[in-house]
Amino acid sequence: MRWKKPRVSKGVSPVKTSPWHSVRQTVHHNNTECNTGNNIERENWRSGTGGKPLCQECYRLGVQGR
C-alpha cells in the first residue's frame, strides 16, 4: 500500500479527511490538524480506520469546528 499523508493547501481550513492510522497506535485519525496523526512515521502509516476508535484530539478538533 502506498503512503499518502493528508495535505491541506495554505489558506484552506483543515477538514475531516479519509481516515488513517498507525500500526503502533490504538486509534485512527481524520483531522489534518491532529498533531498525533500528523506525526505518524511513514513505515507505520496505513489508510483507513484499522477498526480502531477515533483519536480524542481529532474528536475535539471536530467538535471545535477545526
Is the entire prediction scored with pTM above 0.85? no
**Mean pLDDT of the residues in the chain:** 87
pLDDT tens-digit series, residues 27-52: 999 999 999 999 999 999 999 999 99
Cell of 43: 513505515
Across 8-13, average pLDDT: 50
* Residues 29, 7: Cα–Cα separation, whole Å: 13
Q: What band does 9 get if pLDDT is binned at 50, 70 and 90?
A: very low
CA-to-CA distance for 26 and 48, rounded, in angstroms?
13
Rama region for 30: left / alpha / beta (φ>0; ψ in -120 to 50; rest): alpha
